[in-house]
Amino acid sequence: MGQYSDAALYFVDVLGLNRHLLLLAGAQFGTVISYPLSGLLAEYGFADGWPSIFYVFGIMGAIWSVAFLYLVAEDPDSSSTIPEDERKYIINSVWGAAGVSVSTA
């Protein structure tokens, strides 16, 4: 996986290529949105314009971090939001019938 998120490990082959492409397209989508938004904030934003860029993206990053830490689990076994049948399916599809996780070290 290297440079990509560990979230890609959970997209099993059954789900197809579209989910993987959606995962990888997120960074480019963020760039396409953030550049024009930064220009608008610099021109029309609060706090004399350009500082509002840092405030807005800092607040968005903090909200994203809190949501991520609250909603995302380390693996399917420690997730409280995945139903038991789906958890078994993910473990069997990604890690095999033994249910042993793959070491990333």
Please state whether the predicted TM-score (pTM) of the whole model is above 0.75. no
pLDDT in tens, 46-78: 888 889 999 999 999 999 999 988 888 887 777
pLDDT digits (tens, 9 = 90+) for 72-105: 888 777 788 888 888 888 888 876 655 455 555 5
Alpha carbon of residue 15 to chain centroid: 17
| Residues in CB range of 11: below 8 A, 6 or more apart | 19, 20, 23
User: Tokens 């490990």 map to which residue?
Assistant: 9
Q: Where are the beta strands (DSSP E) in 1-77?
A: none
Q: What are 3-51's pLDDT values in tens digits?
A: 455 555 555 555 556 666 777 777 788 888 899 999 999 999 888 888 9
How many CB atoms lie under 10 A from the CB of residue 101?
15
